Amino acid sequence: MRIALVGYGKMGKIIDEIATKRGHEVVARLKETPTVENLNNPDVVIEFSLPEVAFDNIKACLENKIPVICGTTGWLEKKPEIEKLAVENETAFLYGSNFSLGVNLFFALNEKLADLMKNVDEYSCQLEEIHHIHKLDAPSGTAISIAEGIFKHNPKFDAWKLEETQDNQLGIFAIREDEVPGTHSVFYRSEVDEIEIKHTAFNRNGFALGAVVAAEWIKDKKGNFAMKDVLGL
């Protein structure tokens, strides 16, 4: 495939390396806004940029009927508009708060546990995420996805908030520490014990590989998708 990388930071460089090893051609490496000219006719765009420019980047690609794989978090209030654009332009859009295979399995486990705990009033729930000090958004997009998975199964909660859980608001502790790639935990605590599920990333390679696999999967598809579609979860 011909792949254009929009947002060429640490993740972009790892994606570049993995895509090339898997036999793809990287035809653009952009730090600027994508255009027809500088994208160089790709089959798909992989977008890992910054929250403040992600919407414009994705919009420009979809309007030119180029499928987009997006891993940028912190801009999701405009996601419905992007999903509408993908349909109108008869192309494809796939957003992932996290492309790691392990994290997407963790999402499924989190939903199963939330369903088991929904009627057990003795336990309170709390989330925690730890990321590197360069991460701009808090909480992480992955933590928000985890919270939304809990909302689907536990009627006690319908919103999230930073810091401690309070009433119907599920608490998320967002910690920024050194060069941590990403650690996410869900705790259920009672007066006598605690249940915890946790995912720890050792490096960014899992995120990058997942993004390339998603790009391979989305070829010739139309509509809006997520990593659970790619992995059949």
Q: Looking at the annotation, which residues are catalytic? A: 131, 135
Residue 154 in contact with residue 110, Cβ under 8 Å?
no
Give the annotated binding-site residues for NADP(+): 31
Please enumerate, by residue number, every residue annotated as part of a binding site.
Answer: 31, 71-73, 96-99, 132, 141-142
Q: What angle do CA 158, 68, 201 make, to 5 degrees?
A: 60
Residue numbering of the annotated binding site for NAD(+): 71-73, 96-99
Q: Which residues contact 53 (CB under 8 A, 6 or more apart)?
A: 7, 33
Q: Is 79 exposed, middle or buried (0-12, 13-18, 19+ CB in 10 A)?
A: middle
| Binding positions for (S)-2,3,4,5-tetrahydrodipicolinate | 132, 141-142
Please give the C-alpha separations between residue 89 and each of 55, 98, 216, 225, in angstroms, as whole numbers.
16, 25, 20, 15
